[in-house]
Chains A and B, each alone.
Chain A
Amino acid sequence: GQQVMQIPQYQHVQEGEDFTTYCNSSTTLSNIQWYKQRPGGHPVFLIQLVKSGEVKKQKRLTFQFGEAKKNSSLHITATQTTDVGTYFCAGADSWGKLQFGAGTQVVVTP
């Protein structure tokens, strides 16, 4: 079955630095979604990528979908303390069912 792997599992970042988290699927995805979960909170939808090679930006966050639709990345520039949380990618199959990666837990040092 479909498996979604996410790396790194933990990311310690100095405030102001950039970092990237990566997501890889064992199968071609219909689309990929990214969610953010703040400490003690619930996952909140950030963005969805559908097209091969698609790049989308949300302020300091840049999301990319690979050409083969099997991988994705989230790049955050100039990290702020508000970026703290766990970022999940989730690959969707043709039925819309999501397979979540294990998440990247981001800790920001002021």
Chain B
Amino acid sequence: DADVTQTPRNRITKTGKRIMLECSQTKGHDRMYWYRQDPGLGLRLIYYSFDVKDINKGEISDGYSVSRQAQAKFSLSLESAIPNQTALYFCATRGREALEQYFGPGTRLTVT
């Protein structure tokens, strides 16, 4: 959806570097999510936020942190990137009433 944008779309970084992935949405949704996708593993939840003051860990939060700067912005940080964090990262949003999630285009991250 063009309503959910992610930057950068592709990134190559070195082990030990700090990196931030950004997500913005114009859908007016209060719920935002970060997932990572690895071949054969589907999408796994890293962090989620129900509003600006509510941040929750998902099933694979170790090595990641997030910041909800505003209702429309949710950033994912890798404090010290490692090669097994190489993956495709998706941001998603959801409205309060509806249950479906809307995904951004994804960020392909490679850690060398």
**Is A25 an interface residue when CB atoms closer than 8 A count as contact?**
no
Interface locus among B11-19, B21-29, B68-76, B95-103: B95-103
**Chain A: minimal CB distance from B90 (Å):** 6
Is B106 touching A33 in the complex (CB atoms < 8 A)?
no
Is B41 touching A102 in the complex (CB atoms < 8 A)?
yes
Chain B residues contacting A1 (CB-CB under 8 Å) are 59
Is B101 touching A42 in the complex (CB atoms < 8 A)?
no
**Is A43 an interface residue when CB atoms closer than 8 A count as contact?**
yes
Is B40 touching A48 in the complex (CB atoms < 8 A)?
no
Distance A48 CA – B42 CA, assembled complex (angstroms): 18
**Is A85 an interface residue when CB atoms closer than 8 A count as contact?**
no
Chain B residues contacting A97 (CB-CB under 8 Å) are 45, 48, 58
Number of residues of chain A lying within 8 A (CB) of chain B: 22
Number of residues of chain B lying within 8 A (CB) of chain A: 21
As a 0/1 sequence over residues 81 to 106 of chain A, the CB contacts with chain B under 8 angstroms (1 = contact) are: 00000001010100011111111000
As a 0/1 sequence over residues 84 to 109 of chain B, the CB contacts with chain A under 8 angstroms (1 = contact) are: 00000010001000011111111000
Chain B residues contacting A42 (CB-CB under 8 Å) are 90, 103-106
**Chain A: minimal CB distance from B10 (Å):** 12
Whether A33 contacts B90 in the complex (CB less than 8 A), given A42-B106, A98-B45, comes out as no
User: Nearest A residue to B6 by beta-carbon distance?
Assistant: A42
**Chain B: minimal CB distance from A24 (Å):** 14
Distance A67 CA – B18 CA, assembled complex (angstroms): 48
Residue in A43, A45, A48, A101 whose CB lies within 8 Å of B90: A43
Distance A43 CA – B1 CA, assembled complex (angstroms): 10
Distance A43 CA – B101 CA, assembled complex (angstroms): 9
Query: A interface vs B, CB < 8 Å?
Result: 1, 6, 9, 31, 33, 41-45, 48, 88, 90, 92, 96-103
Contacts A44-B103, A45-B101, A96-B31 given; 4 further ones with Cβ under 8 A?
Answer: A31-B99, A33-B99, A41-B105, A99-B45
